[in-house]
Chains A and B, each alone.
Chain A
Amino acid sequence: MATPYLKVENLVKRFGPFTALGGVDLEVYPGEVHALLGDNGAGKSTLIKTLAGVHQPTEGQIYIEGKPVKFRSPRDASSAGIGTVYQDLALNQLMSVTRNFFMGRELKSSLGRLRMDEMNQIAHDEMKKIGIDFSDPTQAVGTMSGGQRQTLAIARAIYFGAKVLILDEPTSALGQKQQMGVLKTMMRVRNRGDIAIIFITHNEIHSKLVADRFTFLALGKVIGAGSKETLEGDEIRRLMAGGANLGDLAAELDEVRAEA
C-alpha cells in the first residue's frame, strides 16, 4: 500500500476539562474516499477543524506525506494541501460564481486589476471537470442550487491545490437528486487519483455508495475502522449506531415501553 498523504496519530483535543477527541488515529490515501462517520457530538467537526488548522491539537501528531507538521492557522493547513469545504461553504450569495471562486485569491495584473476573462474561463472549466457545466459564471451564487454551490466550493478547493479534500456533511442539506449529484462529483474527484477525500456524513447509504475506507467515531474515540472489503454491511450499521446492536436498541426501547 502506498504511503498515506495524511496521517494522524493519537490526536487528543481538550476544551478545558472536556475531552472532545480522546486519541484518534486516521490515515487517508490519494484516490480514496474516506468516510468519517459518527453520531452528533462524536467529535467529527472537531477532528476536521484540527486538520484544517482552526484548532491546535492538545496532544498527538499530524503527518503530511510522512513528515510531521504543525498547523498554526487555516492558512498553514491550506498551503499544506488541506482543503476544507465547510457546511456553510464560505460562499457569498450576492457575488458572481467567478468572484466567489477566486475570493481572496484573485488573479490580478498591474494596479490590482482583475483578469476577469481568464478567471471566468477557469471557473467554468474547473466546475465542468467535476460535473456541472455552468454556462454563465457571471451569475450570482444566490441563484444556484445547493448542489451546484457544493460543486463550486469543491472545485475551488481543488483548483487552489487541495490534496486532501474535507467535506463536512456535504449531502445533509440537500434534496435526493442533488445528493446524488454531489456523490457523483465526489467520484469524479476520486477518479483523478491524486486527491484524498474525507467525507463526513450521517448517512450510511451514502457512505457505502462512495467510500473506500471507513472510520467510526463515538464520544471522541475511534470505535472501528477499515476498508470497504473488511467491513460487512451489518458491522457498518452497528458502528453507525455508536457500537450498539440494533437488537440491543430494540430491547432498550421495550424496557421504556414497559415503564409506561
Chain B
Amino acid sequence: MSDRSEADRLQQETWLQRTIRRPEMGAFIVMIVIIVALTWASSGKAFNALGLKNNIQIIAQYGIIAIGAAALMIAGEFDLSIGSMIGFAGMSMALMLKWGLPFGLGEATPLAAFLATLVMTLTFGWIIGNIVVRSGLSSFIVTLAFLFFLRGVTEVAFRLINQSTQVSGLEDFKEDSWVAWIFGGEVFGWFYDAWFWIGQRFVDMGYGRTDQWFTLGGNLNRRGEQWVDGFDARFFWFILLAAVAMFIMNRTQLGNWIYATGDNKEAARANGVPVNRVKIGLFMFTAFCATLFAACQVFENNTSDAAKGNLMELFAIAIAVVGGTLMTGGFGSILGVVFGAITVGLVANAVFFIPEIDGAWFRVFLGAILLAAVFANERIRKRITGGI
C-alpha cells in the first residue's frame, strides 16, 4: 500500500507556468504584437506626440465602458444598453446645459447637469438590475429592450425640447467650471512637457532633427512651439477606473462576491453572498461608466447628438471577451480588459497612421480576434473545470 494521496497528483506549477496561464496572457501577447506592428507600419507616427494622444483618446473611451461590461459579465450578466445609456446621458447633460434644469429649477451648472444625469442613469441601472434579478429573465433580452427604449427616449427628448437631434456650440464650460474641466480638460501635461524638454536638449546638442518622432516631430506647431500639451481627461478616468476595478475584483470581499455570483449563483447564495444586490449594483456600475463616457464627450466638445454611443455596448462586450472575460461568467480580469482596450483602440485608429489601408479592415480584425478569443477563453474554462 503506497502512501500517496490525491493531492500529490496535482503538479506544482512554476512561476513561469503560472504567469503563462494567467487569463490576461493572451490579450497581453496580442497587444504587444499590435503595438510592434503598428509602430513599424506607421514608421513610428502612431506613437509620436499627437498619435499617442489620439490613440489614448479612443483606448480610454473603449476602456471605460469595457471595464463596466466586464465586471458585469464576470457576475454572469450582459448589458446591451450601454450605448443607448451614453446617448441618453449626453442628451440629458447637453439639454440641461442649453435649456436649464427641468421643472424650472433655473440654469444648470456643469455640476448640477452631471449629478442630475447621474441620478437618472443610476436609476435606470437599478431598474434594469431589479427587472433582471426579479424576473429571472435573461439580461440579454431585458437590456436589449432598454437599448431601444433609451435611444428612443433620447431622440424624442431632443426633438421635444430642442427641436433638433443635436446640440452644438455650447459655451466652453471648461474655462471656469472645474467640473467641466475634470471631464473635458487635459491631464498629465507634465508628460508632454518633459518629452518636449528632452527632445529639445537632443536638438540643441545636434542629435536628430525636429521632425523625428521621438524628439520634437509631431509636437511642433507652425510657429515652432510645443503643440500637444496633455492627454484627454478621460485618460485619467480610465486609469482611475481600471485601478479601482482591479483592486476591488482581486483584493476585496466585493470582488469575491462578484466572481462567486457569476460562477454559480446558487452556490454563492447558499453561502450567504447577496447575489441580487451584487447584480443590481453592477448594472448601476455600467450605467455609471456610460455616464462618465458621455460627460467626457460633452464637456470636451461642448456638443451632443442623438446618435452618440451607438454600438458602443457591442464594442464593450467584444473588448471584455478579447481581454479574457468568460461569456458564461465567473472568470475574467480587469487587466486583460485594459490590454483588450489598448489592442482594439490601436487597431481602430490604425487607418489614420497608415492611410493606404481601408478603414473597414478594423472590423474584419475585430471579428477575427473576437472569435479567436472566445475559443481561447473556452479552452481556459475547460481546463479549469476539467472539461465539463
What residues of chain A have their CB less than 8 Å away from a CB belonging to chain B? 74-75, 86, 88-95, 99, 102-106, 108, 111-114, 116, 132-136, 139-140, 142-143, 145, 147-148, 178, 181
Q: Is the CB of B260 within 8 A of A104?
A: yes
Q: Is the CB of A92 within 8 A of B251?
A: no
Q: Which of B6, B251, B254, B264 contacts A181 (CB 8 A)?
A: B6
Q: Is the CB of B385 within 8 A of A93?
A: yes
Contacts A92-B267, A95-B330 given: A75-B386 contact, CB under 8 Å? no
Task: Tell me, rounded to whole Å, the shortest Cβ–Cβ distance linking A233 to chain B.
Answer: 27
Q: Is the CB of A103 within 8 A of B10?
A: no
List 19 additional A-B contacts (Cβ < 8 Å) besides A114-B253, A143-B384. Answer: A74-B270, A88-B267, A90-B267, A90-B271, A94-B263, A94-B330, A95-B263, A103-B260, A103-B267, A103-B271, A104-B268, A104-B273, A106-B256, A113-B251, A113-B252, A114-B255, A135-B10, A140-B384, A142-B385
Q: Which of B6, B263, B273 contacts A147 (CB 8 A)?
A: B6
Q: Which of B7, B254, B385 contacts A94 (CB 8 A)?
A: B385
Question: Using Cβ atoms and an 8 Å threshold, which residues of chain A touch B331?
Answer: 94
Q: Which of B12, B252, B260, B273 contacts A111 (CB 8 A)?
A: B252
Task: Tell me, rounded to whole Å, the shortest Cβ–Cβ distance linking A37 to chain B.
Answer: 25
Question: Using Cβ atoms and an 8 Å threshold, which residues of chain A touch B256?
Answer: 95, 99, 102-103, 106, 114
Nearest to B257 among chain A residues (CB) is A104
Q: Tell me, yes or no, whether B5 is within 8 Å of chain A by CB.
A: yes
Q: Tell me, yes or no, whether B136 is within 8 Å of chain A by CB.
A: no
Nearest to B329 among chain A residues (CB) is A94
Question: Using Cβ atoms and an 8 Å threshold, which residues of chain A touch B263?
Answer: 92-95
Query: Contact flags (1/0) for B69-107 with A, using CB distance below 8 Å?
Result: 000000000000000000000000000000000000000
Q: Which of A90, A114, A133, A142 contacts B266 (CB 8 A)?
A: A90
Q: Is the CB of A112 within 8 A of B252?
A: yes
Q: Give bound CA distance, A90 to B265, whole Å.
A: 9
Q: Tally A-B pairs: CB < 8 A.
A: 98
Nearest to B265 among chain A residues (CB) is A92
Chain B interface, >50% SS class: helix
Q: Give bound CA distance, A75 to B271, whole Å.
A: 9
Q: Give bound CA distance, A148 to B10, whole Å.
A: 12
What residues of chain B have their CB less than 8 Å away from a CB belonging to chain A? 5-7, 10, 12, 251-257, 259-260, 263-264, 266-268, 270-273, 326, 330-331, 381, 384-386
Contacts A94-B259, A139-B10, A148-B6 given: A106-B386 contact, CB under 8 Å? no
Q: Give bound CA distance, A190 to B37, whole Å.
A: 64
Q: Is the CB of B6 within 8 A of A132?
A: yes
Q: Which of A114, A133, A142 contacts B386 (CB 8 A)?
A: A142
Chain A CB within 10 Å — which of B6, B259, B331 has the most? B6
Task: Tell me, rounded to whole Å, the shortest Cβ–Cβ distance linking B244 to chain A.
Answer: 11
Question: Using Cβ atoms and an 8 Å threshold, which residues of chain A touch B266?
Answer: 88, 90
Nearest to B273 among chain A residues (CB) is A104
Q: Is the CB of A94 within 8 A of B5?
A: no
Q: Give bound CA distance, A225 to B252, whole Å.
A: 48
Q: Is the CB of A135 within 8 A of B252?
A: no
Q: Give bound CA distance, A147 to B5, whole Å.
A: 11
Task: Tell me, rounded to whole Å, the shortest Cβ–Cβ distance linking B305 to chain A.
Answer: 40
6 examples of A-B residue contacts, CB within 8 angstroms? A74-B270, A93-B264, A94-B385, A103-B271, A133-B5, A178-B6
Contacts A103-B273, A142-B385 given: A92-B252 contact, CB under 8 Å? no
Question: Using Cβ atoms and an 8 Å threshold, which residues of chain B touch A94?
Answer: 259, 263, 326, 330-331, 381, 384-385
Task: Tell me, rounded to whole Å, the shortest Cβ–Cβ distance linking B334 to chain A.
Answer: 16
Question: Using Cβ atoms and an 8 Å threshold, which residues of chain A touch B257?
Answer: 104
Question: Using Cβ atoms and an 8 Å threshold, which residues of chain B touch A112?
Answer: 252-254
Question: Using Cβ atoms and an 8 Å threshold, which residues of chain A touch B254?
Answer: 112
Q: Is the CB of B268 within 8 A of A148?
A: no
Nearest to A134 among chain B residues (CB) is B7
Q: Is the CB of A103 within 8 A of B268?
A: yes
Task: Tell me, rounded to whole Å, the shortest Cβ–Cβ distance linking B71 to chain A.
Answer: 15
Chain A CB within 10 Å — which of B252, B256, B268, B272 has the most? B256
Q: Give bound CA distance, A113 to B251, whole Å.
A: 6
Q: Is the CB of A116 within 8 A of B251?
A: yes
Contacts A92-B330, A94-B385, A106-B256 given: A114-B271 contact, CB under 8 Å? no
Task: Tell me, rounded to whole Å, the shortest Cβ–Cβ distance linking B284 to chain A.
Answer: 17
Q: Is the CB of B260 within 8 A of A95?
A: yes
Closest 7 CB pairs of A and B: A104-B272, A104-B271, A92-B263, A142-B385, A90-B270, A90-B267, A112-B252
Q: Give bound CA distance, A114 to B258, whole Å.
A: 14
Q: Is the CB of B270 within 8 A of A106?
A: no
Question: Using Cβ atoms and an 8 Å threshold, which residues of chain B touch A89?
Answer: 267
Q: Is the CB of A135 within 8 A of B7?
A: yes
Chain B CB within 10 Å — which of A104, A113, A139, A178 has the most? A104
Chain A CB within 10 Å — which of B253, B259, B268 has the most? B253
Q: Is the CB of A99 within 8 A of B260?
A: yes
Task: Tell me, rounded to whole Å, the shortest Cβ–Cβ distance linking B240 to chain A.
Answer: 16
Q: Which of B10, B255, B260, B381 contacts A92 (CB 8 A)?
A: B260
Q: Give bound CA distance, A116 to B255, whole Å.
A: 13
Question: Using Cβ atoms and an 8 Å threshold, which residues of chain B touch A88?
Answer: 266-267
Q: Which of A86, A93, A102, A116 contacts B270 (CB 8 A)?
A: A86
Q: Is the CB of A92 within 8 A of B7?
A: no
Question: Using Cβ atoms and an 8 Å threshold, which residues of chain B touch A148?
Answer: 6-7
Task: Tell me, rounded to whole Å, the shortest Cβ–Cβ distance linking A97 to chain B.
Answer: 11
Q: Give bound CA distance, A69 to B260, whole Å.
A: 31
Chain A CB within 10 Å — which of B263, B268, B381 has the most? B263
Q: Give bound CA distance, A132 to B6, whole Å.
A: 8
Nearest to A74 among chain B residues (CB) is B270
Q: Give bound CA distance, A105 to B259, whole Å.
A: 14
Question: Using Cβ atoms and an 8 Å threshold, which residues of chain B touch A140?
Answer: 384-385
Question: Using Cβ atoms and an 8 Å threshold, which residues of chain B touch A86?
Answer: 270
Q: Which of A74, A111, A114, A136 contacts B10 (CB 8 A)?
A: A136
